[in-house]
Chain A
Amino acid sequence: MTGDRPTTELAAAEEAGGLKSKGLAAGKVGTFSGAILGISCVAPGYTLTASIGLIVAAVGLKMPAIFIAGFVPMFLTAYAYRELNSRAPDCGASFTWSTKAFGPYIGWMCGWGMVIATIIVLSNLAAIAVEFFYLFIGRVVNNPNIAELANNTVINIATTLVFIALATMIASRGITTSERVQYVLVGFQMIVLLAFAVTALVKVGLGDAPAGLRFDLEWFNPFTGLALGAFVIGVTGSIFAFWGWDTCLTLGEESKDPTRTPGRAGLLCVVSILLTYLLVAVAVMMYAGVGAEGLGLGNEENAENVFGALATPVLGGWVGQLLFLAVLASAAASLQTTFLPAARAMLAMGAYGAFPAKFASINPRFLVPTFATIVAGVVTAAFYIVVSLLSEAVLLDTIAALGIMISWYYGITAFACVWYFRRELFTSAHNAVFKFLFPLLGGIILAAVFVISIRESMNPANASGGAIGGIGLVFYLGFGVLGFGAVLMMVMRFTRPDYFLGRTLARDVSTSAGAHALEPTQS
């Protein structure tokens, strides 16, 4: 399995093998639907719910600036993904590319970061879905006690496990959400989020808001009034918020007009997401302020669930329900769609011998990697149980850990792009910008965030306050899990050395457009 056969050879092989149409036929994805798909990757309703609390706790009124600060490295790194994906598309993505560029050890750790990131986000998605499930039910039957059920650790864990089990079962049978469902969900989320933001702003204008802050351009300036630690913690939350939108750049490969659509779809998608985030951020701040009292976003009771606290005051009971429903639907849909990449990341690592071979098995009936999917479900459940028992604010801590994990594997991927293409970086202006400059800058920023957050995450005060031996829980969830991965890697190195000796996936460098792939690769 080399994954980088040139298209002509691949096409010839496909014809010989009787292959006909493959995947997304050309002409299926237009600018608008590409952007919609991109937006639904980010699941804005869920993402905002999960990240606003963490960001406000770290940086207060600088939230808009932090959203922009997180956007920049993710935007730059997205080009590394696009360039690598168009030259060497592969099921293993970051794992495969970083192995090709930097060899098996860095590649393995990058793949591990990708796998763990999906596990963490699955547990977080399930948790948010459960939270809003009870909020929504409680509101529908008008019984606040039901909404409180989500805070009961036993009921919370039990319900979350049920959600994870259902999503695992659906995914392991190869059932996927259709595009139309995604369109409806995205449309619904965006409308409700915009209605929420606009209503909040109108109430501020009418003097009807509890805080009623005046708009201040300083909120958008990241260079003043922020300690480095707070800045970095905020950026990890913001990096998470933009995780996934690069999908619409890679979607471009199959779109109607490959030379133009991806750029426009990607731009439309990223601009809508960025504007939505900024609008919602500004609206909630002006409406509620960042005080630690009452509805203030700094109130620890609201930090985990800003929409849960603000929906009813802003929108009123009936419309507020819709916001709960939008977040619930967003989280539940993402929970289900994210199992697929989680399983495929493990499948790819299994196929190249970096994980046990069982991970590469495909169910003959459902034609999906059922074993890897079930493992993803079990590990997610185990992870959630452990974190729930240790943490005082599971959602905050998991998002902080997720930001670290994303910085790790996106950062490595960005550098892998520069190194993999090292022989052709300056052959054209396009290459110099998109294969060198953008990925390099993105990688440097992500690396800086990663390094600084090692120290910051040790301080329990920077997240929920949960700690083991005085060291913050986030440190263990982020760096501890990476360290654990290093141990597993050494176990794999001595039990199944083929991958580590370069027998399954060799180091590689691009020579010129596609020509490198003609060289025989060891496989």
Chain B
Amino acid sequence: MRLLVGYLATPSGEDGLDLGIRLARTVGAQLDIVIVLPPDRVLPGMVPIGGYEEILSEQADVWLARAAARVPEGITTTTHVCFNESFAQGLISEAQRLEAELIVVGAAGDGLVGRHTIGSVTGELLHSSTVPLALAPRGLRDSTVEQVREVTLAIGTGPGDGLALDTSVLASRAAGTSLRLVSLVALDPIFDSMRGGDDSIRDRAHTHAKLMLDAAKAVLPEEFPVTSTITDGATIEDAVNKLEWHDGDMIVVGSSRLAPPRRLFLGSTAAKMLRVLEVPMIVIPRPDIDSDTAEPDAQEGGSQP
């Protein structure tokens, strides 16, 4: 199994690299560290100066050598430099070329403004990647945890997603712990009280979540260790924060229903979680439409993870 780390010699680049190392160590994968460089378009100017790409790729080799030195012994590591107008597109095509099964990046932006938000590369990857994407939260590079501790799978309100479940099972097995299934329920207290019924809505949401959890459990391999939780809160962020998280934990979510087949698309729910979570998130692309015929059109508007 190959994991591709999209690297920049920046703090969030280190976050991504360290997550890549953690995952590779957990599942026994090899690492491909990739820097994508912008091709040097010949820019009109009064002093024509070319040859910048050579300088840039020499510098990238230096950065990559430093990154590879950070990878501990025992993990097979190769480094690559590729040129693409878009960092995200470059990573996706490298992932396809190398047949990597996961792209790992640091999710945070590196600027003063972007530190708490999703970086632009991550944003683009979330809209176009054809392979699962692992997002390292800001500051993961400071963690001393070596392996994934526990895997949490977020169950949406729509029909289950086989690939997300399979990935979670694989990771859980590698980590040697049980799989935690969670269903997050957002209850808008003001809106609900205006409608008069408080407990009934809450009950209905919980009943639905329970159904979804049971459906997921039903397809799990027999005797696979699993725990399940339903958590509610005023918002999804609120609900996800009520869960207990430990350093080394990881959450898996599926793509939004809005995603085209075999593409990632982070739904609003998952995006909200990403903003508050301090654990890595793996986003799984939506499977082929053929294998998901149960999906009714009415679900298009919803964007559950």
Residues of A within 8 A of B (CB): 1, 3, 17-24, 29, 37-38, 40-43, 81, 85, 89-93, 114, 117-118, 121, 174, 176-177, 179, 182, 243-244, 246-247, 250-251, 254, 334, 337-338, 340-342, 344-345, 347-348, 351, 360, 362, 364-365, 367
CB distance from A231 to the nearest CB of B (A): 24
Contacts of B61 in A (CB 8 A): 17
Among A17, A93, A254, A351, contact of B49 (Cβ-Cβ < 8 Å): A93
CB distance from B31 to the nearest CB of A (A): 14
CB distance from B19 to the nearest CB of A (A): 18
CB distance from A44 to the nearest CB of B (A): 12
Contacts of B53 in A (CB 8 A): 22-23
What is the bound-complex CA distance between A387 and B61, given in angstroms? 43
Among A17, A24, A93, A250, contact of B57 (Cβ-Cβ < 8 Å): A17
What is the bound-complex CA distance between A117 and B8, given in angstroms? 34
**In the complex, are the beta carbons of B44 and A40 less than 8 A apart?**
yes
Describe B's contact surface by its main secondary structure. Answer: loop
B156 CB-CB contact with A under 8 Å: no
Contacts of A334 in B (CB 8 A): 45-46
**In the complex, are the beta carbons of A42 and B46 less than 8 A apart?**
yes
B55 CB-CB contact with A under 8 Å: yes
Contacts of A342 in B (CB 8 A): 47
**In the complex, are the beta carbons of B49 and A91 less than 8 A apart?**
yes
CB distance from A361 to the nearest CB of B (A): 9
CB distance from A254 to the nearest CB of B (A): 7
CB distance from B158 to the nearest CB of A (A): 38
**In the complex, are the beta carbons of B110 and A365 less than 8 A apart?**
yes
CB-CB contacts below 8 Å: B51-72 with A: 51-59, 61, 63
What would 7 A/B residue contacts be, using CB atoms closer than 8 Å?
Answer: A21-B84, A23-B83, A43-B46, A334-B46, A341-B47, A341-B49, A348-B55
B22 CB-CB contact with A under 8 Å: no
**In the complex, are the beta carbons of B46 and A338 less than 8 A apart?**
yes
Other A-B contacts than A91-B55, A93-B50, 15 sampled, CB-CB below 8 A, are A17-B57, A17-B80, A18-B80, A19-B82, A21-B83, A29-B42, A43-B46, A90-B51, A179-B41, A246-B48, A250-B48, A345-B47, A348-B49, A364-B10, A367-B37
Among B51, B56, B83, B110, contact of A3 (Cβ-Cβ < 8 Å): B51
The count of chain B contact residues (Cβ–Cβ below 8 Å) is: 37
Among A81, A91, A246, contact of B52 (Cβ-Cβ < 8 Å): A91
Among A174, A340, A360, A364, contact of B63 (Cβ-Cβ < 8 Å): A364
What is the bound-complex CA distance between A3 and B58, given in angstroms? 11
**In the complex, are the beta carbons of A247 and B48 less than 8 A apart?**
yes
Contacts of A341 in B (CB 8 A): 45-49
B40 CB-CB contact with A under 8 Å: yes
What is the bound-complex CA distance between A244 and B63, given in angstroms? 34
What is the bound-complex CA distance between A38 and B44, given in angstroms? 7
**In the complex, are the beta carbons of A367 and B51 less than 8 A apart?**
no
Q: Given A17-B61, A365-B8, check contact A24 B42 (CB 8 Å).
A: yes
Q: Given A1-B58, A20-B82, check contact A81 B43 (CB 8 Å).
A: no
B302 CB-CB contact with A under 8 Å: no
What is the bound-complex CA distance between A244 and B45, given in angstroms? 7
Contacts of B258 in A (CB 8 A): none
CB distance from A126 to the nearest CB of B (A): 14
